[in-house]
Structure 1
């Protein structure tokens, strides 16, 4: 039983649909406040495929409040320097060690590790993820929501939160549009074992005349590689990744690909939900906003969404008006809009017409000599610029989670 209790006739206070980082963080935050929460996911088990790998400073502050930051930091690699380069030439250094936070770095750690840490924390609160439970439909009234899942399962909840990605069933059931589009370029992603050339101490965005290539260190001696590649083969093999590094990466010290552990190809979307809730149906994370992986923002924004939403739902369940959800939307939707705008600019800059790449690189190099530009970019990417000064009862270290 929660410290607040649950309304008669309800199975739970909050049903969370989707057990990615956003859903797990929301479930953990609600359980921390003594709320009854059910988390369901349609997958039989968590995936260990290559997805997000960057956890930024503001997100680590929130994860510290949830009691998992220290463990996650132990499992990742702290990157204090991010550089934009044209092959061997540094165009702009971006220093995270100057970010005003207890976590002055970007933590490189695979998403499935972040999910495992959050899952363990959730389980320690007495909440297990129900798998495979797929949401089929919902019906809401003034008091709550009846959720119908596969195999005839039903759950009655005060609120249902969709943390179920870009193709969110919760968002579709709520009739909320996801507005935007996608970029024409195709991208490839690979986690590789590589020797020489690329550093273990920093992440690098190579903006060479041949195209973009992002390379960052991962635990277990691996590196994450992401590049634009409209001519990629069906299977992203070692030879193809070697070709990308030879054409776009370091020249003086050639990076040699030893093996490819995981790979995928993808298109990038830029979309924003028209609303963040409809009555007692709420969306967060990728169900609410989808954008370019430039700067590693997606998972981070979703986790902070979760902490902000948990505080709002806790207050409503304690008797605050339902309209408080409008404040969640007013606080978090503009952040997502700003992140989409930033990542859109970074993406378009990275995939600029080949005839303009020399000029682009010269402009980036010139901008680096204006100290405030890389400093502001580091603070924005780290997420600390989105802190709010309005105090709430549920307040992670470094300010509330707006």
Structure 2
């Protein structure tokens, strides 16, 4: 093990992304400083769809009770063309999302950060930063206006689409903006509307989405004419949109929040510059179609935090951090593409296009495509990472092979929940006979990085699982050539030298 770094990691932004990064670092014993330039958490509901993989991250932070209290399970997505049903995407136990409004998500994450000994520094702003290969100098402005410059091991920018961190790095935010203005409102609704489903109405007058909230209200999402301003969005205009685009017979009242916004599809040209990282909206933004925004940002932070923690404490080589950008860019690109496709499908106006969309959706439901592919993807369970510093190349062709795949999430949710989050786990199946000597080599040389778990079985196998429970490498022979080779690239040079000298 090389010498641990004693400098803190600076996390900028105390929204869901920054809070996840800070909480995940703190619970792994990494010193962290979390700042936000605002004076308090935002009360606005904003994002609200939380998918199973993200729920798993939150439960890992000890939020089970909070999720059960504040989450509303969603049984299905119900799509209609006008008022005619097209398809019903029904979620099972494995893929079912929950509606948890963003203030509640942030509260559960603040509680997790506080339990790990952290605190948020409100009204504290990043003014400038500079870096060299050994560290980052950041100048912060405190609530009283004083400025101080301190050195940090790393900086994480979780500070949103207008990210100060990204701008300080000079990283381009490439993409485009949809011409339409979109509308959000949270309101009470009188009328016959199933409360455990999200309702989509694709009409000749435009798209209307109605999402139930746990407090009995509904989120209304629709598109407005170009140029519509927030101050022009009256309750009467909102009711008119619902009348023309919804199922009919719905009466809005007690509107608690309404806003207009533009939809962007943009991504940073890179997610890392030296010792500074971008996550969430600071790195990529896209349409809310599919409800992936908050989830992608949280899993960005989750992916980054365990890597930073291992490198910070000297248990892994800095090269491990090279995997963050390539892994999360691959996921973000998939999310942006899917959201763009769905948004364009919502906005179709030609009759033949609408008919083709409706027929395709019905066929997908009847053939099981939604159940086998789309729902697990929405749930965050099928995202996978390319080969690189944290994922070994696959061995041979896999056309007929079953079992875990490198770069994919361990399939068994119960097994995932039992694995440590601060180190790798080598899951070994051992047939009867003498224990392979290479297992002792793993335990001796990589004791700060890997825990070995064994179970009896007919055939030998060894699966190296990362702290985020994705498969890093595997072997089917006791020589452990692939696993040991991969560990050699992960471990700091000092650790490898100690192992060999021992």
| TM-score normalized by the length of structure 2 | 0.73
**Helix, strand or coil at the partner of 1:97:** coil
2:462 aligned partner: none
Structure with the greater alpha carbon radius of gyration: 2
Q: 233-242 vs 199-208, which deviates more?
A: 233-242
Out of 176, 179, 184, the position equivalent to 1:181 is: 176
Contiguous gaps of at least 5 residues in structure 1: none
SS of the residue 2:337 aligns to: helix
Partner of 2:200: 205
CA shift digits 1:24-68 (9 cap, x unpaired): 011000011011000000110111113101000111111111212
C-alpha displacement of 1:397: 9.6
RMSD between aligned residues: 2.2
8 Å Cα contact 2:4-2:313 kept in structure 1: no
Of 246, 251, 262, which residue of structure 2 is paired with 1:249? 246
1:136-151 alignment, distance < 5 Å: 136-150=127-141, 151=145
Contact 1:81 1:97 in 2 (8 A): no
The answer to whether residue 71 in structure 2 is matched with residue 49 in structure 1 is no
Offset, 1:369: 2.6
Distance 1:379 1:164, change over 3 A: same
User: Per the alignment, do residues 389 and 362 of structure 1 end up closer, same or farther by CA in structure 2, a change over 3 Å counting?
Assistant: closer
> Which whole-Å CA distance do the structure 2 matches of 1:370 and 1:398 have between them?
33
CA separation in 2, counterparts of 1:86 and 1:401?
41
Q: Which moved more, 1:299-308 or 1:164-173?
A: 164-173
Structure 1 stretches (4+) deviating beyond 4 angstroms? 394-398
Q: Secondary structure at the match of 2:80?
A: strand
Q: Say if 2:208 and 2:220, in contact at 8 Å, map to a contact too.
A: yes
Q: CA deviation at 1:243?
A: 1.3
Q: Deviations over 1:54-85 (max 9, x none)?
A: 00011111111121244123212100211111
Aligned to 1:168: 163
Partner of 2:320: 324
CA contact (8 A) 1:163 1:286 kept: yes
The answer on whether the counterparts of 1:61 and 1:69 sit within 8 Å (CA) in structure 2 is no
- Check whether the contact 1:23–1:39 (CA below 8 A) recurs between aligned residues: yes
- Give the structure 1 partner of residue 258 of structure 2: 263
Deviation at 1:260, TM superposition (A): 0.8
Offset at 1:201? 1.1
Bigger relative contact order (CA 8 A; separation at least 6): 1
| Separation in 1, partners of 2:313, 2:30 | 10
Residue 303 of structure 2 corresponds to: 308
Q: Verify the 8 A CA contact 1:96 1:382 in the aligned structure 2.
A: no
Tell me how far apart the structure 2 counterparts of residues 117 and 396 of structure 1 sit (CA, whole Å): 25
The 2-side partners of 1:64 and 1:318 are apart by: 24
**For 1:329, what is the secondary structure of its paired residue?**
helix
Whole-Å separation in 2 of the counterparts to 1:204 and 1:239: 21
SS in 2 for 1:369: helix
Shift, 1:374, TM fit? 5.0
CA distance in 1, matches of 2:174, 2:336: 12
Relative to structure 1, the CA distance from residue 48 to residue 390 in structure 2 (aligned partners, 3 Å threshold; closer, same or farther) is closer
Q: What CA distance in whole angstroms lies between the structure 2 residues aligned with 1:214 and 1:40?
A: 35
TM-score, normalised relative to structure 1: 0.91
Equivalent pair of 1:64/1:397 in contact (CA under 8 Å): no
1: CA distance, partners of 2:409 / 2:76: 31
**Are residue 399 (structure 1) and residue 469 (structure 2) matched?**
yes
| 1:389 Cα offset (Å) | 3.7
Would the alpha carbon gap of residues 174 and 119 (structure 1) be closer, same or farther in structure 2, given more than 3 Å must change? same
